[in-house]
Structure formats: C-alpha cells, structure tokens
Amino acid sequence: MSKMKFADTEENVVTREEFPLAKAREVLKGETLAIIGYGVQGPAQALNLRDNEFNVIVGQRAPSPSWDKAIADGWVPGKTLFSIEEAAKRGTVILYLLSDAGQITSWPEVRAQLTKGKALCFSHGFGATYRSQTGIVPPADVDVILVAPKGSGRSVRRLFQAGRGINSSYAIMQDATTRAFDRVCALGIGVGSGYLFETTMEKEVYSDLTGERGILMGALAGVIEAQYALLRKKGHSPSEAFNETVEELTQSLVPLVGENGMDWMFANCSTTAQRGALDWKGKFRKAVEPVFEELYQGVASGNEARITIESNSRQDYKEHLEGELSEMRNSELWRTGAQVRKLRP
C-alpha cells in the first residue's frame, strides 16, 4: 500500500505493481471464492476471477434467467454452479453480489453458512451500512470487506478483456482473521482493478447513492430532458435538439473529458463556446448545490435506503417500474435517440 496525494489529501492506494496477480493468487491459494448472484456484477467478477485462475464457484437460484446465463458462460451445475445456500456453504470467501433487495431476502441462508474464519465481501455497502433496515449483520468471527468496481458489470468485463481494468474502492469493516487486508487486495486485483483506493462501507454507499441519483444518472437524465424540451419548445427539430443535447455530449465531449479532463476541453473548444461555458458553469453549479445537499442528507439519514427497500418490497414493483421505464423509452426524446443511433456510421 502506498500514499498518493490528490489535491491536498493523501490517500491509501494499492496498485498492481505493489500487489501483483501472482501475489493475489498466493494469498487466495486454497480458498474457494463463491460468487452469490449472477445478475449485474456477478458475471463480470466471476469470469474475471476464473480467467485469472482462481478457484471460483457460483451460487444462483434456479430456475431463473441468471441460472441459464451462468450455464451459457460455462459454469457447470453440481461442479461450479450451485444453489445460493450450497455455494455459500462451500465458499471460504463469499462475494455477496445479489441486488440490494436480493441480499435482504437471501441473508438468512447465507448467514447460516458464515462459519468462523470465512470472509464476506460486498461490492456495495448498502446492506451492511443500513443494517438496521436490511437485517444484514455479519457474525463477529468473519472478515467483512468490500471491493467496489467503479463501473457497471459490463464495463468491468470489457475493460478486463481489453487488458486495462477499472478502478475499485476497497474497505475493511471487520478483520476477524488478521488477513482481511491481504484478502481484499487479492480480490480487487483478481477481478481486474486498475488500482484500489481506500474507503469505508458508509462512504462507499453514500458516494454511490449520491452519484447514481446525481450526475451519473438522475441529474444527467433530468438536465438532458430539460434542454431537449426547451429546444423543441423554441421550434428546433427533434434531430437537431437531440444532436445538440445528447449526441455531441456522448459521442464527442465525454470521451475527450475522460481522456484529458474538463480543463483541457475548455481550452480546446471555440472561443465562443469557451466564454459561454465559463460564464454559465457557475450559475448551473449554484442552481444544483441545494439539490445535491438535499440528496446527500437523504442518503446519509437512511431515507433513500428506506424508499428503495419499501419500493422493492411491493408485489407490483416490477410492473410499476416497467411503466416508468416505458414512459421514458417511448418519449419523443429517446425515440429520436433510437433513430439517430441507427444513422451513426
């Protein structure tokens, strides 16, 4: 582990040079890594670990589409693919990668298999952080750790296959064996992380929920809808409104910002765009600061967790969710997007 300075703050980071794959294999030699859940993160982490020559098994309910997907990916029922309870029993390191709602439902059968010396690894701090609401309270004699890749499961797998990897945060909530640090680093390197940076369960879930509801999805979707609607109201065509709102953002600007930073983007656009962006950036920031403050407080207080748990507990939630997604999908904005994507060279 080394110290890396970001702005005026030193952070603990673990790089591939400090903790190479060979060391990760040695740390987890003799361990059975049980991936519980094969939905979003499960496939990517399971396949990456398998490709990196770790001993991996998968636990998933059957029959289910995820069970069928696991078989299609080469996991063999009775050998490397089991029920959730059986996989948790066989695993010495349990990667609990079900959805937040799924973790709550399956916790009793997983908890029963958490015997002394095992490790319970999360990729999201929701269940353990909001334990008073989820009921997920690990026993005191197991390691409780977190490896949280900073991207979707598809990105985790795609970047791994490209030989790059994606950054992950790591946390140690409970070190019952004195091996928690080595275990968490080995898992982080094993799933293909570019580097690991230290956090806590609470900070991971607070930043994650804020990000998802904020700039990563909620805020982004909201400002896209607002600008598109304004341009349409002012007489611009659907194609023009979409291209100026979404297409240029996703196909041109965001990749360049990712490669070079926003400062580079400001320095390498037209002087007209540059002046306008600098003048309006502060106005947008002031407008959304109170919204972000309200959002963070809702996350930290547990209110957002309560809303999520209550919503997912409703019998008709999937139907209600599909209605909300269908409304978005069938909006003029995203119907236009579907047509524009077809015209990409």
DSSP secondary structure letters along 290-337? HHHHHHHHHHHTTHHHHHHHHHHHSTTHHHHHHHHHHHHHTSHHHHHH
Among 199, 225, 253, the domain boundary falls at 199
Asked if residue 206 is part of any domain, the answer here is no
pLDDT for 8: 77
Q: In whole angstroms, how far apart are CA 29 and each of 105, 131, 194, 333?
A: 31, 31, 22, 52
Tens-of-pLDDT digits for all 345 residues of the chain?
777 777 778 889 999 999 999 999 999 999 999 999 999 899 999 999 999 999 999 999 999 999 999 999 999 999 999 999 999 999 999 999 999 999 999 999 999 999 999 999 999 999 999 999 999 999 999 999 999 999 889 999 999 999 998 999 999 999 999 999 999 999 999 999 989 999 999 999 999 999 999 999 999 999 999 999 999 999 999 999 999 999 999 999 999 999 999 999 999 999 999 999 999 999 999 999 999 999 999 999 999 999 999 998 899 999 999 999 999 999 999 999 999 999 998
Asked if residue 335 is part of any domain, the answer here is yes
Is residue 168 located within the same domain as residue 30? yes
Among 199, 229, 246, the domain boundary falls at 199
Is residue 89 located within the same domain as residue 227? no
**Are 85 and 113 in contact, with CB atoms under 8 Å apart?**
yes
pLDDT for 40: 87
**Are 21 and 14 in contact, with CB atoms under 8 Å apart?**
no
Is residue 125 located within the same domain as residue 248? no
Asked if residue 255 is part of any domain, the answer here is yes
Domain that holds residue 244: 211-342
Asked if residue 182 is part of any domain, the answer here is yes
Asked if residue 116 is part of any domain, the answer here is yes
pLDDT for 339: 96
pLDDT for 137: 97
Q: What is the pTM of this model?
A: 0.89
Is residue 185 located within the same domain as residue 265? no
Asked if residue 205 is part of any domain, the answer here is no
Kindly tell me the sign of the dihedral angle through the C-alpha atoms of 230, 281, 151, 164.
positive
- Alpha-carbon distance of 143 to 286, in angstroms, equals 43
Q: In whole angstroms, how far apart are CA 129 and each of 125, 134, 136, 146?
A: 6, 9, 9, 12
Give the model confidence (pLDDT) of 239-251 as tens digits.
999 999 999 999 9
Residue 51: which residues within 8 A CB-CB, separation 6 or more? 160
Nearest Cα to 238, choosing from 331, 326, 332, 342?
A: 332
CATH number for the domain harbouring residue 78: 3.40.50.720
Give the model confidence (pLDDT) of 118-170 as tens digits.
999 999 999 999 999 999 999 999 999 999 999 889 999 999 999 998 999 99
Among 167, 199, 231, the domain boundary falls at 199
- Alpha-carbon distance of 128 to 300, in angstroms, equals 14
Kindly tell me the sign of the dihedral angle through the C-alpha atoms of 133, 136, 138, 144.
negative
Question: How remote is the C-alpha of 200 from its chain's centroid?
Answer: 15
pLDDT for 2: 77
Is residue 290 located within the same domain as residue 320? yes
pLDDT for 28: 98
Instruction: Name the catalytic one among 118, 124, 213, 232.
Output: 124
Token duo for residue 123 = 């990729």
Give catalytic status of residue 236 as yes or no.
no
Is residue 329 located within the same domain as residue 242? yes
Is residue 229 located within the same domain as residue 91? no
Is residue 82 located within the same domain as residue 180? yes
Domain tally for the chain? 2
Q: Which burial class, exposed, middle or buried, applies to 7 when counting CB atoms under 10 A from its CB (0-12, 13-18, 19+)?
A: exposed
Token duo for residue 197 = 């940076």
CATH number for the domain harbouring residue 300: 1.10.1040.10
Asked if residue 204 is part of any domain, the answer here is no
